Amino acid sequence: MWFKNLHIFRFLHPVTTSAEDLHEQLTKAIFQPCGKMDMESMGWVPPLGRDSESLVHAANKCIIFSARKEEKILPPSVVREFVNDKVEEIETQQMRRVRKREKDEIREEVLHDLVPRAFTRSTYLFAYIDITHGWLLVDTPSRKKAEELVTFLRTTIGSLPVVPPQIQQSPARIMTQWLIKENDCPIDLDLADACVLTDQEGAVVNCKRQDLLAEEIQGHLDAGKLVTRLALEWNDRLGLILDDELVIRRLHLLDLIQAQLNDANTETPAQRFDAEFAIMTGELASLIKRLFEVFGGENEEAYAKMR
């Protein structure tokens, strides 16, 4: 159940909720499948899966929860084809042109007929609250989906004072310095083999499976490009791609953590989930604190203005 991506949100006030309180609040919006004419439906589901009834799971002073979103699959091209066929039939039989207003009415009739018969697909979003550090962490590479979950959680519980992290120094400029030959990464962060370079005009260079200290990369940096994504390995424990908005992507385990997971004494899926969640939250807390540190720490004055 390890998170593969990480959008970080900072609570503006100390977190006081408990797992029991959050479960009770989430029951207000338990997932229900799409109705006959609904195009989508979203609700909370047990993070441990169908065999569990609890909408939350707690360990290591962290509370994990999960949302399910069901969407009807009805491509616009399909709707357009049905509408065009109906319009052509009317114009041929009645020898007249179908105007826009009538075409809109036909489209509504087509939707009324097709929506109940459309297939559905479901996606799941996992997130957890780190009570000790005051973070909400969402597992998705998409900013839009992260914001959607935050908005849905806020609507469910009534209030959710969270914001993206405010950092003292520009991550793009700091990461760029790490690639300049006379500057070194922090000792616990090793460069991997990928980065994205961007300039002020929007030109983008995507480098994969390359020596990031090679002359070719240095030439782009000398031309004024900044590092906006960088592949790193942290402490021989986690691999990741970090972007200039502190979004973590392609998070994966390195040998030390993999060995720790393999050594965990678990017999059931629930025990395995609990062990992985406890290890994951501890590792991610250390990683995030370290990233904040190398970028100059959090901007408490910025947070104060938001409260």
For residue 234, list its beta bridge partners.
189, 238
3-class SS at 303?
Answer: helix
Check if the beta carbon of residue 24 is closer than 8 Å to that of residue 63: no
Distances 216 to 168, 180, 205, 274, 295 between C-alpha atoms, Å: 30, 12, 11, 46, 26
Q: Does pLDDT of 94 surpass 70?
A: yes
Split at pLDDT 50, 70, 90, the class of 235 is very high
Split at pLDDT 50, 70, 90, the class of 148 is very high
- List pLDDT tens digits, range 103-125: 999 999 999 999 999 999 999 99
SS (H, E, C) 77-117: HHHHHHHHHHHHHHHHHHCCCCCHHHHHHHHHHHHHHHHHH
Distances 108 to 36, 37, 81, 198, 235 between C-alpha atoms, Å: 15, 12, 13, 45, 57
Please tell me the pTM assigned to this model. Answer: 0.89
**pLDDT > 90: percent of the chain:** 79
Burial 221-246 (b: 16+ CB within 10 A, else e): beeebbbbbbbbbbbebbbbbbbbeb
Domain assignments of the chain as residue spans, ordered by start: 7-70+120-163, 76-116, 171-301
**pLDDT > 70: percent of the chain:** 100
What's the chain's average pLDDT? 93
Split at pLDDT 50, 70, 90, the class of 153 is very high
Q: Does pLDDT of 187 surpass 70?
A: yes
Supply the DSSP symbol for 6. Answer: B
Check if the beta carbon of residue 61 is closer than 8 Å to that of residue 130: yes
Split at pLDDT 50, 70, 90, the class of 182 is low
- List pLDDT tens digits, range 49-80: 988 899 999 999 999 999 999 999 999 999 99
CB neighbours of residue 184 within 10 Å: 11
Split at pLDDT 50, 70, 90, the class of 268 is confident
Mean pLDDT of 212-216: 89
CB neighbours of residue 262 within 10 Å: 7
Q: Does pLDDT of 129 surpass 80?
A: yes
